[in-house]
Amino acid sequence: MRPLVALLLCCIAPALFAAPPARIEASYDVSTKGIKIAEITERFTRTGNQYRIESITKPVGLLALFKPDTLQVISEGEITKQGLRPLHFIYKRSQETLKNTEADFDWRLSTLMVSDRYGQRFEPLPPGTQDRLSVQYQFRYVSFLSDRKEVTMHITNGSKIDTRQYLVHPRQTQTVPLGTLETLYLSTAPQDTAWKTEMWLSTENGNFPCKIVLTEDNGDKLTQVLTALSVTQ
């Protein structure tokens, strides 16, 4: 009987783990070369099977003085058994408006309409495609992520679709301003340059990103760490 109970618990656990909260509020600090340059506030809200995520990045310190450019990113869509299914994405800068992008997902026709400085155009829409904001919340829904060696994600920035292959590494303990957390460590596959994306997902918070490091081709790093997190079921 005990093996049967254990099997049932294993089947139930992923469903409970993936249950979408009604609200998530998160704050991050962004730094480069040890200097804090920005603060990010994010809010995820669920209404029935609909979701909305809004992220606001504001510069601080000298960056705010010389480049006071605020970034607003919005992802809206549906919640399915497979997780988030984006319908609309907005990437909007207050000053560098030429970098603004937008995307509309047509899942019935499997097409993505992207809009940027070059105008509007249509791209084929691979199943499971996320936008650059929703993807951070999609790891909650990836089945048995910790048992995988890699996971592939299709991600749009509103201008194009990239395919990212993340390698899944053994669990790590990571200390961020929020505290010391047990995490899954994900990194993109090695490239010809120093370019790399690394993510540490807090397993006790539904695989929520608690640290993200972006390494540019020239080796410069941008680090984002979780400073506050509030989850309402």
pLDDT digits (tens, 9 = 90+) for 185-210: 999 988 888 999 999 999 999 999 99
pLDDT digits (tens, 9 = 90+) for 83-107: 999 999 999 999 999 999 999 999 9
What pLDDT is stored for residue 191 in this prediction? 86
pLDDT digits (tens, 9 = 90+) for 110-145: 999 999 999 999 999 999 999 999 999 999 999 899
Separation of alpha carbons 116 and 104, rounded Å: 12
In the block, tokens 């089945």 appear at 143
In the block, tokens 């995520």 appear at 53
Statement: 19-232 belongs to CATH 2.60.40: no
Share of the chain above pLDDT 90, in %: 85
What pLDDT is stored for residue 1 in this prediction? 38
What pLDDT is stored for residue 83 in this prediction? 96
- Average pLDDT of the chain? 92
- Please check the confidence at residue 12 and state whether its pLDDT lies above 60: no
pLDDT band for position 70 (cuts 50, 70, 90): very high
What pLDDT is stored for residue 19 in this prediction? 63
